[in-house]
Amino acid sequence: MVQVALWTLLAYNLAPLAAAQVFDLSDLQWTLKNQNGSIVVPGSLPSQAHLDLFEAGIINDPLLGINEFTERWVINDNWTYTADLTPFTQNCKSDTSDKTLLVFYGIDTIANITFAGHPVAWVSNQFRRYTYDVSDYLNFPAGEDNNLTIVLESAWYYGLNVTIRPDAEYFPNTPNVTTADNFEYPNVRSWIRKIDDDFGWDWGPAFVPSGVYKPAYLVTLSESEPQDTASDATLYPVTSSSVLLDETSLDIYKYGQNSSTAPDQSADWVLNVTFGIRSIKSFEKPTVTLSISELDLTSEPLDLGPIPANTDENTYLSVSWSIPDSAPERWYPIDLGIPKLYNLTATLDSSPGQGDGTSAESITQTITTGFRTIQLLQTPYSPEEIASRGITPGDQWHFAINGKAFYSKGTNIIPFDPFYSRIKPEAVRWVLESAIESGQNTLRVWGGGIYQPSDAATDGGLYDFYSLCDELGILAWSELIFSDSLYPINDFLLESIEPEVRQNVRRVNRHPSNIQWAGGNEIEGIVMSANTSLANGTHYLDEFVYLFQDYLHDIVLSETNSVPYTDCSTTHGVLSLDPYVLRFANGTPGYIYGNTERYNYNASVAFDLTTYPVGRFVNEFGFHSMPSFYSWEEVLENPEDYAFNSTVVMSRDHHPPAGNLAWPNPNAPQGQYQMTSAVELWLPTPGTPDANQTFAQWCWSTQLFQSMNMGLGENNLGSLVWQLNDIWQGVSWSAIEYSGRWKVLQYGMATVYSPVVINPFWFPGNESLTILATSDRWETVDGTAQLTWYDWSGNAINSMTTPFSIPTLNNSLIYEGTGVDTILPFGYTAKDVWLLMNVTATTDNKLVTSESYFTPVSLAYSNLVDPQIGVIASDNYTFTLSANGGVGAWTWLDHPSGTVGYFVDTTTGLPSNGYYLIPGIDRTVQFILSIKLSTVQSPDPADFVVRSLWNNTHM
């Protein structure tokens, strides 16, 4: 594993030096109480009120049963965390000339902070780091108060109070336009800088948590000379005895590069390092020395500029260093190259020239980073390219890494848990490694959640995210936290938003995996609708332009030269990049601009490609499904709950959302119907004498339809499935369940995100079938495709093999036919046959195989035959599956409760589950167990369960 942020103190003549005294506030004894004092329990830090109440036995596990509803009273109360500062004052040596700084890496969200009886600050932004000089309060406490107290106001009630301010703008929702999507707690999200889905979403709960959810520290800076002995240094905060480095930003880009100018790939690399400094002493001529040991490169001491004596706010100072283009290897996503990383060592010497080596006040940081260029191409296609390639006119909308366009294939990330402070690093690693295993190269960090952390240490992240993307070689599309609502532009909000955005952009800069900053999620479409539907629509459009085209754009690009900015996740693109002017509806009819998304819950047109949007890039698409029976076992408490439409199950379906606090969700029957109708239309309707089997088959069948309905048929350069991970055990669009268990969709992506794939495109209107082989490689790919018709008894009817040659990022036509009678094997009906499509090619010096299936009629009407599947278990959880009867349509192997892992084909080494098992063609798979996530370490092979579509109606 790559260590992303190592923070050390540089030795003077190899002797250890003293850092500032750093005290971890988690070492204090905390108490938590509600507003009227009727509840007083032990607290902790970092934590959130729900978690401490659960630990104390006041509430049950919030994710269990219907506790999202029964524990709403926690949201309505105000909660106070208090700790006696005596352990700090007794153990930290200081005098009145020292400065003590109180550092919070994350407070959720509305809080009054008092220190030793003195008010320190009122805060209202979950996404900011706060640092305060509390020296005077420490030296002169108010009376006998020796406590640190954080009083947290109910975010829900705070939001309601803000909406009745005289200057609070009204955002109307009418039958024709929705200016603010409400999920559970309505009309407050846009007024609070807090995780949007904390207030509910159509795939998750609404707990509206509060607490100090990231680590916090007391840092004591001293004017006295550093001693020869080292103090115990934590990874964070980064200090010398007199200096706190509150921020360090590293931005790597090409000389002359900016958001509107394509980088010169042969130009020198520029490494810009910016420090946010608080110091108890002034330093006139500090220097910074940068080095990359792997490249044997070291800069001359670079002048940083004077550091003033200021502990009240950060002083920002920067240095730049140029290195030749040819010196480092480029960083690439794992499917396109090697994610090469280097360790940049930055030594800040505040008092250089004091003898040999660096001074006793120097600080060294080692930052793991990489070298790459990333572009978001949004310029028009040329007439020549339109003519030669048959492209629909309009603008490009895709990414290029290191000067090369590529296909973005991936998913969307949501928060990993409703309570940030309990997110497990190993669970996040599992999700990201699962993305790699399924062939993904891009993750979009959805703009309604949280700014994902760099790593466990940086700014109190608690777990690795961007550093893990750097290491694994997966691209991260980042977004500012604005989602599905129009937003006010009141000064009190903008004053909080600016430092929020700057802090997070600066922090993420160092990560080569980051590919852009989007201003928010799905807002441009909302404001375009408001502009045409409301009498004062231009007012809302003007506000959107101010905030997302101008204000946020300028803040982001003032902090980075290495990544682009776009106004919104789903956008119509731009008229101009410099100046930055959005297109909105200003386009030529028939032309394609920007990117798109697709959600269509009318299952009757699920496989009619004429109903799909045509776009350059699809950043959201999907269909919801149930979690597995095994996930339901984690949260259902009574036998009667194990039914598709039981009260508890339906209460965990938030699609479509209630829009208010009504419970159970009155709109859940609509979401349930969308899933059941899809299954009934396209698969055998589950129904067996065993109620639990029927429920399990229903859950699995919704997942199967979800995977079948991916719709990756669009001719573009990007597809990001909604969504990768889950936030709880409930109905959602996820590919991976809350526990880490893979759904059918996750295995499906492992197939469709293969470098070379074969897919059928069926157009029912004229009964035409087109089969294409597609490659996302940069080189021409040669291979063969095989098409074989089978009946459901497993007899091969006929077969054809076709060679192909696929140009860069392109398709090759394998088959084209019109009319069912022409397409089907002679003498067979659509209900009796199906088509197996295989592709074999060599790319990147590796053999690539992929397969897909075409059924000319819904599987609900196909004449399936009992597959009589046999399973033989061998060592190391290896299973050989055989169809001893007919074809096992969508054969699936489940691992037992308490286990997390996935199945791989022992021949290809690739993930494999959910396939057509043909008599005479056995499948051998091995279960790869996650030791860290599984509560059952040695499952019994007899507890693995095999199922197929036959089991929807048969025991």
The residues carrying an active-site annotation are 522
CA count, 13 A, side-chain hemisphere, 293: 6
CA count, 13 A, side-chain hemisphere, 353: 7
Choose among 113, 209, 124: nearest CA to 158: 124
Burial, 272: exposed, middle or buried (Cβ in 10 Å; 0-12, 13-18, 19+)? Answer: middle
**Chain Cα centroid distance, residue 302:** 37
CB 666 within 8 A of CB 216: no
CB 41 within 8 A of CB 58: yes
Q: How far is CA 687 from CA 559, 635, 640, 695, in A?
A: 58, 24, 17, 9
Integer Cα distance of 769 and 152 in angstroms = 61
Instruction: Tell me the residue ranges of DSSP E strands in 792-885.
Output: 796-806, 810-818, 833-843, 846-854, 869-874, 878-883
Question: How many CB atoms sit inside 10 A of residue 580's CB?
Answer: 18
Choose among 447, 432, 575: nearest CA to 517: 447
Which tokens sit at 30? 């905390």
Which tokens sit at 66? 């219907």
DSSP at 610: G
CB 955 within 8 A of CB 690: yes
Integer Cα distance of 896 and 603 in angstroms = 31
Integer Cα distance of 290 and 277 in angstroms = 18
Question: How many CB atoms sit inside 10 A of residue 87's CB?
Answer: 13
Q: At what angle do helices 537-544 and 524-533 cross, to 10 degrees?
A: 160
The set of residues, in sequence order, having a beta carbon less than 8 Å from that of 135 and lying 6+ positions away, is 98, 99, 100, 311
Integer Cα distance of 360 and 97 in angstroms = 20
Burial, 906: exposed, middle or buried (Cβ in 10 Å; 0-12, 13-18, 19+)? Answer: middle
Cis peptide upstream of residue 656 (ω within 30 degrees of 0): yes
The set of residues, in sequence order, having a beta carbon less than 8 Å from that of 313 and lying 6+ positions away, is 278
Integer Cα distance of 604 and 154 in angstroms = 44
Integer Cα distance of 793 and 865 in angstroms = 6
Q: At what angle do helices 491-508 and 552-559 cross, to 10 degrees?
A: 30
User: 515 φ, ψ to 5°?
Assistant: -115, -15
Choose among 306, 315, 303, 294: nearest CA to 366: 294
CB 397 within 8 A of CB 377: yes
DSSP at 686: P
Give the DSSP letter string of 16-33.
-----EEEEGGGS-EEEE
Choose among 493, 509, 476, 485: nearest CA to 551: 493
Q: At what angle do helices 744-752 and 691-708 cross, to 10 degrees?
A: 30
Please give the radius of gyration of the chain, using alpha carbons only, rounded to the nearest integer: 29
User: 684 φ, ψ to 5°?
Assistant: -60, 135
Integer Cα distance of 481 and 191 in angstroms = 12
Integer Cα distance of 871 and 888 in angstroms = 13
